[in-house]
Structure 1
Amino acid sequence: MNTARSAFIRYFVFFALVVSGNLCTAQETPNETKQIDALISIANQMHVEGKSKQLLTISNDIISRSNKLKFDRGMVYGYYYIASCFSFDGKFTKSNEYLKKAQTFSKYLDSDYRQNYRINGLLADNYRDLELYQLSISSYHRSMQYLKHIKLKTVIDSLSLATNYDNLSVLYNAMNLGDSAYYYLNKDKAILKNITFEDAYIEKSSCYLGLGTYHYKLNHIDSATFYYDQSLDLLKGKNHPFEISALYSKAEIYAKTDDSEALKYFELALSKAKEHDLPDLQADIYKAIGEIYSSRKNYKEANWYQEKYMKLKEQLNRSRTGQRDFAVNEVLNQQKQKFNNNQTSNTYNTYAVLGVFTFLLVIALYLVHKYRTKNEKITTETELLLNEKETIISKKEEETQVLKLKVNESFEEIVQLAKDNSPEFFSRFQEVYPNFVTNIMGVNDKMRLSELTLCAYIFLGFNTKDISSYTFKSVHTIRSRKYNLRKKFDLSPEENMELWLKNLPNNPTT
């Protein structure tokens, strides 16, 4: 249920940012673009209120008008709105498709860090809801990097950062990493405490809901109830879809002591989930209501709700599995394309080296000729060249030592992340060893994310027992997966996989 939170909390931030941007530029734009800016403001209000159907209609109008005028900003915002509508409806790969379209307007986006923040933030939301947690973490952190580029930060930028912290807390909560979720909730809360926007009720309500969930999982019922009530108070009378999650959470509290009151809250949440056409939430509520009737031994009602839950969940899982596979394949194809580009670049580099070598050979022959005619002068020039060469070599050696020190520090960091089974391990590993994935994909482009992560563990020198211990999997499971890797890489039993991985082209050893 908590994964639904970030489907809503980005709305107000987006609205405030764009409206403020429009006010700053309205006097400088032609009438046609002013009209598009006006549509953007209307669309943002729909975005805030969660009116996805109306938003989809006006977004297509924005794109149509902007396309005729070659108005890049309108195209970017229009595509983003459509992406948010598809994300809201659970069509995450379709949402990503429109986000990629928005990203094609790179010239405009280079000057709009805030829009880049939102695009990467929504990508992260989609990856998280597809349970592609590593990709989600990377996108959230990339999103925050764009906020750091903004020199004159506003209150809205602070609200944007709070939104990202909230989304990270949702992500870590979905991964059952309560302490990490609580860490980001506190960062979120610290920012929101200083924000007085009345319309920031969505972000504040979400933060309270997250804190309530944290305490609920620890069985701190009084604290959980306090935060859930705070969340509901902020949403009272708003008829916003986010209220569904708050009602569901409050119903869970009552389910422990008063199932009649719990049923009342669940049914209200179900009614609103149907009104806003949110099948994910409907499925969770069907299951919860069925469990109440089962505890009352009313098996007829319990079975009815259980069947509704199973049917809807099966449809959702089928859709999610297809979308998840598509998203993973898309990322792997990007890595493959990167590898191919690197191969092309390496070919060009080879020709460049040959060219430089030929050039140096010509110079050497020229120097020999000159030496024969002006021996004394050449001797002096040669000494200067040798001195310069020694200076360059000395400088390179110093740079190499500094680089080795940095690599060693990074190596220790990622080893610790691996031992902690941290969700940030593979993302950080790729930053330290940027050629690792592309080199492996060059050998076999059918690799899955879990297989690439196992390769990273092997590359770092962990044995089967270590990997089993750190990843909480059996030794037999790790051995089977390593055997499958050997088959994919066509390695003989005698070959050392760790050395093989380290000897791939461009892979630096540790």
Structure 2
Amino acid sequence: MKLNKGLFFFIILFFSNFILGQKPKKQLDSLFNRLLVMRSEGKLKESLVLCKELISGYEQLKNEEKALKTYFIAANVSSNLYNTKESLAYLDIAAKKNEVLKDDDILTKINAEYGRNYKNLGFYNLALDYYQKAIDVAKKTNNKINLGYCYGLRSVVYEEQKEYAKMYSDLLKAHEINPTTYTASRLAKYFISLKKNTDSAKFYLDLGNKYNTLKKLTPFEISILDRNWGRYYLEKGDYKSAVSYLEKSLEISRKLKKPQDIKDTHKLLADVYKLMNQPAKAALSLEKYTVITDSLSTEKQKIQDFPIKKIIQEKEINTQKTYTKLYILIALTIILFLAIYSYTLKRHNARKKENIALLNTKEEENVQLQQKVNESFEDIIQLAKSNSPEFFTRFQEVYPEVINELLKIDPKLRVSELTLCAFIYLGFNTKDIAGYTYRTISTVRNRKHNLRTKLNIPAEETTELWFKNLGNRLY
């Protein structure tokens, strides 16, 4: 008896689907292991694509544990690619899932990753808050690898805040808990840049090389080690060796697509070429450094409202929880004591006192805020004089009304143009601006002339007077 071809095909398809349906978890787990290898090899974009495939697969299987881990890895990879917005979105999902799973090790990593993202956005205090949460959980679980990792991350914030004693303390803790090429390289940088102690620096760099022979390093670790060898030879005056190491580090950072590392290496190369009396190469490296700095600042500006939205959302959730508890308390009080009128009167008086206390607190906060603004002025001046990449971000935090007013006049103003506005607003003259930003006086004059046109500054009014009057109107 011949079997109908259509029926035969249907049976084959049925059993194929049945057989394949038994394998997805095993196949996904195999891909997950491959993901871990790809991430360690620095194949970040490929890793992110695989993360999305795994997330879809694990969600369909309702494997919450593996889905949680994959969401976190996606957040980590996105952060390394400087896709901060995407990283925060993945982290929010991971944090929500972990409220149910309650995995303390992953909670440490989630808090640490939030810290990394907020540090990249320039929200240092918020980053420090999350790092402290991560450290507290790591201590509770006695996970030394996580603890060392968190100390290392927090030391980066302290370094950017110029709190070098705290930076060195955290970095040393990280290295003592879990010595790696990364921690050794950063300790070498500390001794080169801050202590000018090349002997101690070489000791840690040699340690970094030693770890390289003991285990296979990630491309990121090698790039950090090479960059700090470059710093070492720059300090020693061996410019040829410095360039060699910096170029190797730059090549790796380009492959990893890490703009922050690329930017830092270009700045070092500019310094070396300047000392080698090669102005053309120095100018080219400095130009690349500036382009990346402007690009990062632009991206940072686009998503700087994300942390604020998260804070507001958390406060709303906490407020809702508080009100829920309050309603329960009121209901129980009414049932137990049958004193509705008495309770309502007492509650009214209590709220009145709370409102008065809140008003007093707000007034005190306003005074403190004004003091902080005054203290911040000197900080901004120093960032401007050192041509720090954090200058515009810090200016925007302290004088947000100025930036908003300028963008009202011309919404198409670029970050570089707004940075020039910040210099002028702070009272720097053309010569000072040229010196601090490594540009010629004629270049600065031309840019100021273009600004006058974009801001519609009257011909009879100087640029400096116009900005001074702007400040008087706003403050």
| Alignment correspondent of 2:285 | 305
User: What is the aligned counterpart of 2:136 among 126, 131, 145?
Assistant: 145
After superposition, give the CA deviation of every residue in 1:134-181 in whole Å (9 maximum; x if it has no partner): 22222122123333443xx5xxx2222221222222222222111112
Match of 1:134 among 116, 122, 125: 125
| Matched residue type, 1:191 | I
**Within 5 Å, which residues of 2 pair with 1:307-322?**
307-322=287-302
Q: Which amino acid aligns with 2:227?
A: Y
**Cα distance change, pair 467–330 in 1 and its aligned pair in 2 (3 A):** closer
**Could you tell me which amino acid in structure 2 is paired with residue 258 of structure 1?**
D
C-alpha separation in 2, matches of 1:228 and 1:39 = 36
Q: Are positions 1:292 and 2:284 aligned together?
A: no
Kindly provide the amino acid, as one letter, of the partner of residue 312 in structure 1.
I
* Whole-angstrom distance in 2 between the partners of 1:167 and 1:146: 15
Residues 98 and 107 in structure 2, CA contact (< 8 A), matched pair in contact too = no
Deviation at 1:49, TM superposition (A): 2.5
TM-score between both structures, scaled by the size of structure 1: 0.59
Q: 1:289 touches 1:305 (CA, 8 Å); kept in 2?
A: yes
Map 1:31-180 onto structure 2 (within 5 A): 32-106=24-98, 108-110=100-102, 112-150=103-141, 157-180=143-166
Tell me the CA shift for residue 100 of structure 1: 0.7
- Shift of residue 107, structure 1, vs aligned partner: 5.4
The whole-number CA distance in structure 2 between the counterparts of 1:170 and 1:233 is 24
Q: Please identify, of 117-126 and 282-291, the stretch whose mean Cα deviation from structure 2 is larger.
A: 282-291
Alpha-carbon distance in structure 2 between the residues aligned to 1:109 and 1:158: 22
Q: Whole-Å Cα distance in 2 between the matches of residues 135 and 63 of structure 1?
A: 29
CA distance in 2, matches of 1:281, 1:126: 15
In the alignment, is the contact (CA less than 8 A) between 1:99 and 1:119 conserved in 2? yes
Inter-CA distance 107–327: structure 2 relative to 1 (3 Å threshold): closer
Task: Report the AA paired with residue 240 of structure 1.
Answer: P
Alpha carbons 1:36, 1:74 under 8 Å: kept: no
3-state SS, counterpart of residue 242 of structure 1: helix
Say which SS state the counterpart of residue 241 (structure 1) adopts: helix
SS of the aligned residue for 1:104 comes to helix
Unaligned 5+ runs, structure 1 = 1-29, 193-202, 363-437, 444-450, 475-480, 485-510
In structure 2, what is the equivalent of residue 212 of structure 1?
188
d(CA) in 1 for partners of 2:256, 2:373: 45
What is aligned with 1:455? Answer: 365
Unmatched segments (≥5 aa) in structure 2: 1-21, 343-353, 381-397, 402-475
2:169 pairs with one of 183, 207, 216: 183
Partner of residue 233 from structure 2, selected from 238, 242, 254 = 254
Once residues 87 and 233 of structure 1 are traced to their aligned partners in structure 2, the CA distance between those partners, rounded to angstroms, is 29
C-alpha contact 1:244 1:269 (8 A) present in aligned 2: yes
Contact preservation (8 Å) 2:55, 2:70: yes
Q: Using the alignment, how far apart are the partners of 1:168 and 1:274 within structure 2?
A: 25
- Contact 1:93–1:327 at 8 Å: present in 2 too? no
Aligned to 1:434: none
Judged with a 3 Å threshold, the aligned counterparts in structure 2 of structure 1 residues 147 and 31 are, in CA distance, closer, same or farther, namely: farther
Amino acid at match of 1:455: E
Check whether the contact 1:166–1:207 (CA below 8 A) recurs between aligned residues: yes
Call closer, same or farther: CA 1:225–1:456 in 2, change over 3 Å: farther
| Structure 2 Cα separation of the partners of residues 291 and 147 of structure 1 | 40
How many angstroms apart in 2 are the aligned matches of 1:453 and 1:318?
34
CA RMSD of aligned residues (A): 3.7
- The superposition leaves residues 13-69 of structure 1 with CA deviations (integer Å, 9 ceiling, x where unpaired) of xxxxxxxxxxxxxxxxx9654443333222222232222123223222221221111
Higher RCO (Cα < 8 Å, 6 or more apart): 1
- How far apart in 2 are the matches of 1:276 and 1:51? 7
Q: Quickly say closer, same or farther: Cα 1:472–1:67, change in 2 above 3 A.
A: same
Report how many residues are paired: 345
Q: Percent identity?
A: 20
Aligned equivalents of 1:45, 1:158: Cα separation in 2: 22
Aligned equivalents of 2:184, 2:297: Cα separation in 1: 29
Are the equivalent residues in 1 in contact too, given 2:121–2:304 (CA < 8 A)?
A: yes
